């Protein structure tokens, strides 16, 4: 075992970039300092906020909730509410929900649990099954990502949140960056910023990513040394269907052999975002309003409503409205070709 570089205690983490080892106490200080610096650097929080924290009960989100709770205790003008979305994945989410409940009740943190079933009428398992029966070409993670963002925004707004904090860490960001490079989705790359403002739509709750510059490994260690989660790893059963699963493994192998790979990719992303923004002749188009549900959307029909239409989850009136909007927009007509 290696000793801490700052005291004689046993180290729980070694940073291979600076060569320093950290015991539990000094690692906690190091990690929290980096998160506070990220929040200040990107001006994520104002003097008065109702911070809604998107929590899954896993290591990253529990770490984020813990740090923001500590910060909010020092700022009396900040209110904190934890928000958990239960997607409805049998054998998975029920293993993580107890972590939030125990923590929230022990530390007197407000929390709310909502579900896909509440907002969409089906669990994710039922959505995936329905999609397969209908022959739809989407992977489980496609449904989950779209509907999770949809429900998080609606629920955070209903709670009166002024900002929605998510626990996306550096690993998540660079994985998404590479996925979008592979798909040639440069418009999506331009959105991979640490802060997403209202985009001109009052219905959108601004997003912040306080873990934007910290590694997944670090947030996991922080959760474990602070007793925020039980040892062990609960992986979503649908993860293996996603290209992210493969990219994650490749990046971890590269980081092991060439420390700093992930940080290099993040700096590359930041530079590319700057180049994209400077190259744009007009400002980024603000959010419009989905003509079906009224939620913020960059298209006439939001992705959630497109999926709900294809899955048969809309009312007859809403479905007719979808067809009318699609007929008005030629770029959407390929959707109707399947129905």
pLDDT(335) > 70: no
Burial class (CB in 10 A: 0-12, 13-18, 19+), 141: buried
Task: Give the pairing type, strands 110-115 and 21-22.
Answer: unpaired
pLDDT(332) > 70: yes
Between residues 239 and 24, which one has the greater pLDDT?
A: 24
Q: What percent of the chain has pLDDT over 70?
A: 95
pTM (whole model) above 0.85: yes
pLDDT in tens, 129-144: 999 999 999 999 999 9
User: Is 141 marked within a binding site?
Assistant: no
Task: Give the pairing type, strands 296-297 and 288-289.
Answer: antiparallel
What is the band of 282 on the pLDDT scale with cuts at 50, 70, 90? low
pLDDT value of position 284: 54
User: Is 293 marked within a binding site?
Assistant: yes
pLDDT(283) > 60: no
User: Is 236 marked within a binding site?
Assistant: no
- Domain extent listing, the chain: 34-279, 288-336
Between residues 329 and 302, which one has the greater pLDDT?
A: 302
Give the CB-side neighbour count of residue 252, counting CA atoms within 13 A. 9
Domain spanning 34-279: CATH 3.40.50.620 = yes
User: Is 305 marked within a binding site?
Assistant: yes
pLDDT value of position 216: 96
pLDDT in tens, 185-222: 888 898 899 999 887 788 999 999 999 999 999 999 99
pLDDT value of position 101: 94
Q: Which long-range contacts (CB under 8 A, 24 or more apart) does 89-92 make?
A: 89/123, 89/124, 89/125, 89/236, 89/237, 89/238, 90/125, 91/237, 92/234, 92/236, 92/237
Give the mean pLDDT of the chain. Answer: 92
Tell me the sheet residues that pair with 85.
Answer: 114
Q: Rounded distance, CA 24 to CA 294, Å?
A: 48
User: Is 144 marked within a binding site?
Assistant: no
> What value does the mean pLDDT take over residues 70-95?
92
Q: What percent of the chain has pLDDT over 90?
A: 78
């Amino acid at each position: 075992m290696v000793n801490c570089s700052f005291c004689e205690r046993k180290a729980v983490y070694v940073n291979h970039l600076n060569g320093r080892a950290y015991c539990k106490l000094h690692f906690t200080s190091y990690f929290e300092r980096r998160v506070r610096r990220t929040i200040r650097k990107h001006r994520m929080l104002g003097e008065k906020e109702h911070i809604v924290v998107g929590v899954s009960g896993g290591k990253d989100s529990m770490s984020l909730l813990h740090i923001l709770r500590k910060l909010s205790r020092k700022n009396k003008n900040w209110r904190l509410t934890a928000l958990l979305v239960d997607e409805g994945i049998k054998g998975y989410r029920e293993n993580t929900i107890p972590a939030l409940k125990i923590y929230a009740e022990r530390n007197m943190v407000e929390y709310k649990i909502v579900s896909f079933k509440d907002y969409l009428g089906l669990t994710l398992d039922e959505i995936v099954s329905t999609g397969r029966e209908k022959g739809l070409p989407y992977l489980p993670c496609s449904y989950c990502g779209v509907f999770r963002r949809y429900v998080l925004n609606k629920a955070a707004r209903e709670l009166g949140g002024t900002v929605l904090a998510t626990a996306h860490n550096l690993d998540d960001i660079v994985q998404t960056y590479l996925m979008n490079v592979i798909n040639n989705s440069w418009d999506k790359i331009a959105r991979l910023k640490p802060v997403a403002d209202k985009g001109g739509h009052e219905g959108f709750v601004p997003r912040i990513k306080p873990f934007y510059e910290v590694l997944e490994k670090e947030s996991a260690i922080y959760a474990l040394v602070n007793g925020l989660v039980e040892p062990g790893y609960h992986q979503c059963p649908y993860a293996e269907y996603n290209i992210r699963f493969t990219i994650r493994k490749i990046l971890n192998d590269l980081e092991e052999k060439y420390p700093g790979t992930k940080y290099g990719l993040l700096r590359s992303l930041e530079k590319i975002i700057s180049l994209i923004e400077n190259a744009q002749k007009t400002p980024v188009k603000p959010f419009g309003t989905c003509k079906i549900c009224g939620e913020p959307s960059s298209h006439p029909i939001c992705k959630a409503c497109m999926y709900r239409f294809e899955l048969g989850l809309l009312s007859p009136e809403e479905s007719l409205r979808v067809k009318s909007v699609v007929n008005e927009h030629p770029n959407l007509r390929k959707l109707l070709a399947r129905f």
